[in-house]
Amino acid sequence: MNIVLWIIASLLAIAFLAAGAMKLVQSKEKLAASGMGWTENASASTIKLIGALEVLAAVGLILPAALDIAPVLVPLAALGLVLVMLGAIVVHARRKESQSIVVNVVLLVLAAVVAWSRFGPWSFTS
């Protein structure tokens, strides 16, 4: 199960590192034009904040455990992603973007599995 959790955490890290970096680097207008319609209703600073949170969570899913420095940060990063995805689901539900909600739910479930597993039965401290 430990290998499965590493794979899930790695996939989440790749996805959120890419998504977060894109939000940090690209302008609000460019993000909206690329299909992120929700950015039209958010301020540029909010978009950058979400991007920064996603990048930090991506790093937090891998580095603490890989370096064996404060591995408790792994489930905390996963929990942070659960919260980000809950917010994303609310935003997409308000905009009636059902396809985006499906993606957000999948990412939320994967992050929840990592959080629950690393806090519980497959923690790095046990």
As a whole number, mean pLDDT of residues 57-61 equals: 98
Cα-Cα-Cα-Cα dihedral sign, residues 47, 25, 100, 55: negative
pLDDT digits (tens, 9 = 90+) for 86-101: 999 999 999 999 999 9
Residues in the chain: 126
In a domain, 109, yes or no: yes
Span 33-44, pLDDT tens digits = 999 999 999 999
Domain membership flag for residue 126: no
Question: What is the domain range of residue 102?
Answer: 2-119
Flag whether 124 is in a domain. no
pLDDT of residue 126: 55
* Assigned token pair, 87: 């917010």
- Is residue 76 a part of any domain in this protein? yes
Q: What is the DSSP letter of 96?
A: T
Pick from 97, 60, 91, 64: nearest CA to 78: 60
For the entire predicted model, the pTM comes to: 0.93
Which pLDDT band, with edges at 50, 70 and 90, does 124 fall under?
A: confident
> Residue 82 is encoded by which pair of tokens?
């659960």
* Mean model confidence pLDDT for the chain: 95
- How many independent structural domains does the chain possess? 1
Task: Report whether pLDDT(57) > 90.
Answer: yes
The pLDDT of residue 31 is above 70: yes
Question: What is the share, in percent, of the chain residues with pLDDT greater than 70?
Answer: 98
Residue type, 104: N
Structural contact between residues 23 and 61, judged by C-beta atoms closer than 8 angstroms: no
In a domain, 102, yes or no: yes
When pLDDT is averaged across residues 105-110 and rounded to a whole number, the result is 98
